[in-house]
A and B are shown apart, each in its own frame.
Chain A
Amino acid sequence: MPSNEKNSNAPKKAIDLHVGEMVPGVAKKDPIIVAEGVKRSFGGLVAVDVEHLEIPRNAITALIGPNGAGKTTLFNLLSGFDKPDHGDWKFDGTNLSGIPAFKTAKLGQVRTFQLTKALGLLTVLENMKLGAKGQRGESFWVGPFKGLWNKQEQEIEEKARGLLQRFKLDAKEADFAAELSGGQRKLLEMARALMTDPTLVMLDEPMAGVNPALTQSLLDHILGLKESGMTVLFVEHDMHMVRHIADWVVVMAEGKIVAEGDPESVMKNPAVIDAYLGAHQDVDLGVVTGRIAAEDV
């Protein structure tokens, strides 16, 4: 199944994902995430208020919207890093509301962060090995006895080296993660996430702060995830990137989902244009497009 698609400039899009009319909250043929009535407010301010949302399986879904639209908050909710006022959602049929973050990750839903969280004083290889699941040596009583976990460790190391090679970080494996460039850290974080063998990868602004030279390779990697059977959900500001790789686009504004659909039709949607331009004419364009990091709600 993995093909040499990388050379092609126009990635193969997944089509025919939804059922019925393309409106916010439309049902999907094969949803991996189904969220229902998720609301989160800070003080009096409603950050996220999603009535219904389904994320299609084995496709790349982009979550877009102006700054302060609640994208990262929704991300935090779905991945268990924040608790909603009310609402619930299912991942692969498992109800995830009220489940702590580490358990959602164990179920196969892994995420990255807007501000990269490479573990600076661990080496690149150690960062990778940390990602592997089900390590026997991670138990307090087993840990001291190398014989009990050494074999597994070798396997994990092999897998990690393979991924590092794929992400072109193999030459850096002995370096501290703190010594990597911003883009390399993004790559490391993504590679590390893959060590958990996820079914859904959630990327929070994977392109933010990345050197343009690395952007293309990052995009290829994201496409590669889909090819190897994973589902991708990512937050992004740059419409061009979104159009290029996303199969499905969900647009948020002021905590609500204002539109969703395939990239082409969403771009033409007046609600989207309004959300981006109408509501935020006073905001620096750099903030809107994510070139300038502004604090998300």
Chain B
Amino acid sequence: MDIFGLLQNTLNWLIHPQTLAYALAALGLAVHFGYTGLLNMGVAGFMAIGAYGYAMSVLHLGLPWYLAMLVALVAAAIFALILGIPTLRLRADYLAIVTLAAAEVVRYLLTTTVFDEWTNSADGLAQYHDSFRGSNPLPEGTYGIWPWIYNEQGWWMRVFGILLVAGAAWWVWSLMRSPWGRVIKGIREDEDAVRALGKNVFGYKMQSLIFGGVLAALGGIVISLQSAVVPSFYQTNLTFMVWTALLLGGAATVFGPIVGSMLFWFVMSLLDYALPALANMGILPISNIQAGILRFIIVGVALMLLVIFRPQGLFGNKKELTFAK
């Protein structure tokens, strides 16, 4: 086994755009679930809206990248509003089911040939990068420190993603220490008590849903910076994997989602490398394809074990959050 290659590949994933995107989405989910107690199962939908909102605004409206991103975030906020109005007054599990359904609706709408003109249906969109890459302030060339060596565009999207994650983490952290965060956490514990104290619980839940949804959409944008957006990426499984990353780190923490995402992709890439290698060497009696599938079985098992045995995540404080309800 090529240990050097394995290490380089695995460490690369720590600042991979996909990892950064997961970190943003998981931060949003921490706001939803960890702090407010909202069961958002539609993370993939928010991310899809972020990615497509950005790509379509560039391609069809001819907007510069920053305005296109703004449009994508506004679209995600509107999506949150539409989801929240019928469900936020109902029991938590309704929100879970409706968000999951809505995310699927988004994916179906992006996949169908009806809107082919705008979405290019199942093939997805590409060639929307000129504006973003044109604003690259970094010098040309390929540079970095081992194992992180990329060209200027590779760095640009990573640096941009890291800045977004840092900004989002700051925003979440400073909100959660504020009276706003106090209300939000109170709602997680018992919304009737908070209501009785004169707080507009519905309004706060809506703000939380929108804020977390916008963070997830930012995640979708970061993913779309790589090469293309295709609808099949935004399946329900994406949502579940973001959940796993979140629970890995700790749901009611700011750094948990970030560290969790890094750890998640570190392990996933490790398995991606190791399992087929083991299969090829005849140590595991499985095919290459099966080795790839085995990864997802492991994700499912990890998710179950985490929730059952370590609900506060690897880095969370047990007192701070075991599951509220």
Whole-angstrom distance between the alpha carbons of A52 and B200 in the complex? Answer: 30
Listed stretches A37-45, A132-140, A218-226, A283-291; interface member: A132-140
User: With contacts A140-B207, A144-B171 known, is A105 near B197, CB below 8 A?
Assistant: yes
**Are the CB atoms of A137 and B178 closer together than 8 Å?**
yes
- Chain B residues contacting A271 (CB-CB under 8 Å) are none
The reply on A193 being an interface residue by CB < 8 A is yes
Q: CB within 8 A of A106: which of B171, B178, B198? A: B198
Using Cβ atoms and an 8 Å threshold, which residues of chain A touch B178?
A: 137-138, 142-144, 146, 149
B279 on interface, CB distance cutoff 8 Å = no
**The residue from B179, B196, B202 contacting A79, defined by CB atoms under 8 A apart:** B196
- Taken together as a complex, chains A and B put the C-alpha atoms of A112 and B181 apart, in Å, by 22
Judge if A35 is at the interface, Cβ distance under 8 Å. no
- B225-252 with Cβ < 8 A to chain A: none
A113 adjacent to B186 (CB under 8 Å): no
In the complex, A226 Cα to B200 Cα: how many Å?
28
In the complex, which residues of chain A have a beta carbon less than 8 angstroms from the beta carbon of B186?
Answer: 119, 122, 127, 130
A110 engages B182 (CB within 8 Å): no
A121 touches B196 (CB 8 A): no
Docked Cα-Cα span, A148 to B79, in Å, equals: 31
Question: Across the interface, do B196 and A113 meet the contact criterion of CB distance under 8 Å?
Answer: yes
- Give chain B's interface secondary structure class: helix
User: Which parts of A60-74 form the interface with B (CB within 8 Å)?
Assistant: none
Residue B76 interfacial (CB < 8 Å)? no
Bound: A127/B196 CA distance, A: 13
A193 to B194, CA, bound (A): 10
| A119-B185, A138-B179, A140-B175 given; A196·B207 CB < 8 A | no
Chain B residues with Cβ below 8 Å from A196 are: 197-198
Chain B residues near A105 (CB-CB < 8 A): 195-198
A17 within 8 A of B: no
A139 to B207, CA, bound (A): 10
CA distance A195 to B194 in the complex (A): 13
**Residue A168 CB within 8 A of the other chain:** no
B174 A144 Cβ-Cβ under 8 A:
yes
Contact A102 B180 (CB under 8 A): no
Query: Is B321 interfacial (CB 8 A cutoff)?
Result: yes
What is the minimal beta-carbon distance from A286 to any residue of chain B, in angstroms? 26
Q: How far is the CA of A193 from the CA of B177 in the complex (A)?
A: 22
Q: How far is the CA of A120 from the CA of B211 in the complex (A)?
A: 25
Interface code B165-181, partner A: CB below 8 Å = 1, 0 otherwise? Answer: 00000110011011111
CA gap between A143 and B186 in the complex, in Å: 16
Select the residue from A138, A146, A196 with max chain B CB neighbours within 10 A.
A138
For the complex, is B201 an interface residue (Cβ under 8 Å from A)?
Answer: yes
Binary interface encoding of chain B residues 79-108 relative to chain A, with 1 for a CB under 8 A from any of its CBs, else 0 = 000000000000000000000000000000
In the bound complex, residues from chain B placing their C-beta under 8 Å from that of A140 are 175, 180, 207, 211
A176 within 8 A of B: yes
Asked if B193 is an interface residue, CB under 8 A from chain A, the answer is yes
Tell me, yes or no, whether A256 is within 8 Å of chain B by CB: no
Contact yes or no, A110 B196, CB < 8 A: yes
**1/0 per position for B116-148, CB-CB distance to A under 8 A?**
000000000000000000000000000000000
Asked whether B152 is an interface residue with its Cβ less than 8 Å from the other chain, the reply is no
CA distance A35 to B196 in the complex (A): 20
| CB-based nearest A residue for B210 | A140
A135 to B194, CA, bound (A): 14
Q: Determine whether B77 belongs to the interface, using a CB cutoff of 8 Å to chain A.
A: no
Q: A126, B195: Cβ atoms under 8 Å? A: no
Which of A117, A118, A142, A193 is within 8 Å of B192, CB to CB? A117
Report which of A101, A137, A192, A193 forms a contact with B180, defined as CB distance below 8 A.
Answer: A137
How far does the Cβ of A112 sit from chain B's closest Cβ, in whole Å? Answer: 7
Q: Which residue of A lies closest to B170 (CB)?
A: A144
A122-B182 in contact (CB<8A): yes
In whole angstroms, how far apart are the Cα atoms of A22 and B321 in the complex? Answer: 53
Q: Are B196 and A112 in contact (CB under 8 A)?
A: yes
Residue contact B171 to A135, C-beta cutoff 8 Å = no
User: Which chain B residue lies CB-closest to A119?
Assistant: B189
User: Could you tell me the distance in whole angstroms from the C-beta of A195 to the nearest C-beta in chain B?
Assistant: 8
A111 within 8 A of B: yes
For the complex, what is the distance from the CA of A140 to the CA of B214, rounded to whole Å? 14
CB distance from B172 to the nearest CB of A (A): 9
| 0 or 1 for each of A133-169: is its CB under 8 Å from B? (1 = yes) | 1011111101111100100010000000000000000
User: Can you show 17 pairs from A to B with CB atoms below 8 A apart?
Assistant: A79-B196, A101-B192, A102-B199, A105-B196, A113-B193, A113-B196, A119-B186, A120-B324, A122-B185, A137-B178, A138-B180, A140-B207, A142-B180, A143-B174, A143-B180, A144-B170, A144-B175
Write the residues of chain B forming the contact surface with A, with a CB cutoff of 8 angstroms: 170-171, 174-175, 177-183, 185-186, 188-190, 192-202, 207, 211, 319-321, 324
Additional A-B contact list (20), CB under 8 Å, known A112-B196, A121-B189, A137-B180: A101-B196, A103-B198, A105-B197, A110-B197, A113-B192, A117-B192, A117-B193, A117-B196, A119-B186, A119-B190, A120-B324, A121-B319, A130-B194, A137-B178, A138-B178, A138-B199, A142-B180, A143-B178, A144-B174, A146-B177
Q: State the 5 A-B residue pairs at the shortest beta-carbon distance, nearest first.
A: A105-B198, A143-B180, A143-B178, A137-B179, A117-B193
